[in-house]
Structure 1
Amino acid sequence: MHTDLPRWVERVISVPRFAPYLGALSGDRLVAWDLYQWNVQVSEAFYGPLHCLEICLRNAEHDQLRNRFGTDDWWRVAPLNMSEAAKVTAAKQKLARKDVRRPSADDVVTELSFGFWVSLLSRKYDRHLWVPALHRAFPYYSGSRESLRDNLQAMVFLRNRIMHHEPIHHRHLAADHVKIYTLLGYVEPQFASWLRAFDRVPEVLARRPEGTRR
């Protein structure tokens, strides 16, 4: 290892986890270390916007579905497929392990994943969820359900990479950032405007280390 690179880096981070950074930079260990550190920083910066997008999506969909089915725990009567029904069951089991004996509908909603809410926009739910209810969750959107779902699914993928500490430096992160705001704007443009006041992503993107841009 290069003498200027901390000797503990590969030992603590692990060789396999550091390898994608080395591979992206033709084995230059010092620049790869700079890229690794920046990847941590930009992942941290994206957490806030992605957090807001997930919260916004789940609450917008939840509001429309409880209106549609006339109950806060709409999943009891909605025609969910086996996959989504299993996710609701898993959310309840997780709450039980937390000793939440009588979970409220809001408790369950909080436990359901970003991916769950995006899955409700799948083609299989066109007739029973999208047409009668979920399209109203996006009052400022006029495109196809499929395009909306695909863009949200891309953000689920980004969120999961960040939460599992995976590299995101290879992505077109500026485009990802724009996409988050576009999706937020479909639900509530004022929420998107509020977020910009403390969003650190543009600042961190501008600090990408020299020699790591592809």
Structure 2
Amino acid sequence: MNKNAIIDRIITRERLNPYLKHHSDIIDKALAHYKSNILVSESFYPLIAILEVGLRNTIDNQLNRKYNDSKWYENTDFIRTASRYQIDRISEARTNIQASKKEITTGRIISELTFGFWTSLFDTKFELTLWKNLRLAFPNCPKQNRNRKNISSKFNQIRKFRNRIFHHEAITWNLDVLNSYNNEILEGISWLDNDLLNWIGDLNHVGETIEKYRKTIE
């Protein structure tokens, strides 16, 4: 196997350089760390998927109730409340569904809307309009923590971490921080539904994956 060819043609030197620097330019260690980063990132996928699906569906449910309209994203009152960002994301969702030659349904719109769309509904702008309803999406969040600012901070931090993983970036520089993210995601899921947290128990392999590759990474 020509390791230099793999680096130059597939991974690229620019992407591998941080790993090389971390491992004193030892190529084998850098490549092993790179692969371990992929495996650790992969271990987060199930939890992030459950959190994202759970968040969007619980918010959808609350907005459905608020506007008494399953198509709340088309409701005149919501449109008046929304910012250009939300309106553009809804428009993009419709465009993407049409591009795939599928019928535009409420379910497809909800699933097509980005994680960023859902977390944007916790912005300061919606403190007096949406938050009273959206807070009900987190029945298990301790009352002292269940305010718009805390919820926005938590889920936007998770969103940014999720984006780093989905963009195949390096996340394994500080393994203690990764364990903290794991705990944050699990807590976020529990705030949505404790039964959901119990149900995903066998999907959570983050801790053991980190420990399995700790020596390779460090």
Shared fold per TM-score greater than 0.5 = yes
1:7-41 deviation per Cα after TM superposition (whole angstroms, max 9, x unaligned): 33312211111112112333232211111010000
Q: Distance in 2 between matches of 1:14 and 1:173?
A: 25
Distance 1:197 1:211, change over 3 A: closer
Bigger fraction of residues in helix: 2
Kept in 1: contact 2:140–2:191 (CA 8 A): yes
Q: How does 1:118-157 map to 2 (within 5 A)?
A: 118-131=119-132, 133-141=133-141, 142=143, 143=145, 144-157=147-160
**1:22 matched residue in structure 2:** 20
Aligned-residue offset at 1:134: 0.3
Is 23-32 or 140-149 further displaced after alignment? 23-32
Q: What SS does the aligned partner of 1:19 have?
A: helix
- 2:19 and 2:26 map into 1 onto residues whose CA distance is 9
1:127-176 deviation line (CA, Å, top 9, x unaligned): 11112x10100011121221111111111111111111111112411000
- Which runs of 5 or more structure 2 residues have no equivalent in the other structure? none
Cα separation, 2, equivalents of 1:54 and 1:42: 19
Amino acid at match of 2:4: R
CA contact (8 A) 1:38 1:208 kept: yes
Give the percent of matched residue pairs that are identical in Structure 1 and Structure 2: 25
Alignment match, 2:164: 161
Please state if 1:87 is matched with 2:95: no
Q: Indicate how the Cα distance of structure 1 residues 89 and 210 shifts in structure 2: closer, same or farther if over 3 A, else same.
A: same
TM-score between both structures, scaled by the size of structure 1: 0.92
Q: Which residue of 1 aligns with 2:115?
A: 114
In 2, Cα distance between the equivalents of 1:209 and 1:134?
39
Alignment size in residue pairs: 208
Task: Tell me the C-alpha RMSD between the 2 structures.
Answer: 1.5
Structure 2 CA distance for aligned equivalents of residues 211 and 65 of structure 1 = 46
| 2:68 alignment partner in structure 1 | 70
Asked whether the 8 Å contact 1:64–1:137 carries over to 2, the reply is yes
Contact 1:34–1:209 (Cα < 8 Å) also in 2 = no
Taking the aligned partners of 1:76 and 1:186, their CA distance within structure 2 comes to: 28
The superposition leaves residues 28-86 of structure 1 with CA deviations (integer Å, 9 ceiling, x where unpaired) of 32211111010000111111100000001000100000010011110122121111111
Q: Which amino acid aligns with 2:102?
A: V
Q: Which amino acid aligns with 1:122?
A: D
> After the TM superposition, which parts of structure 1 deviate over 4 Å for at least 4 consecutive aligned residues?
none
Q: Give yes or no for contact 1:35–1:209 (8 Å, CA) kept in 2.
A: no
Q: What is the TM-score normalised by the length of structure 2?
A: 0.90
Distance in 2 of aligned mates of 1:105 and 1:23? 49
1:10 maps to a residue whose letter is I
CA separation in 1, counterparts of 2:159 and 2:203?
Answer: 22
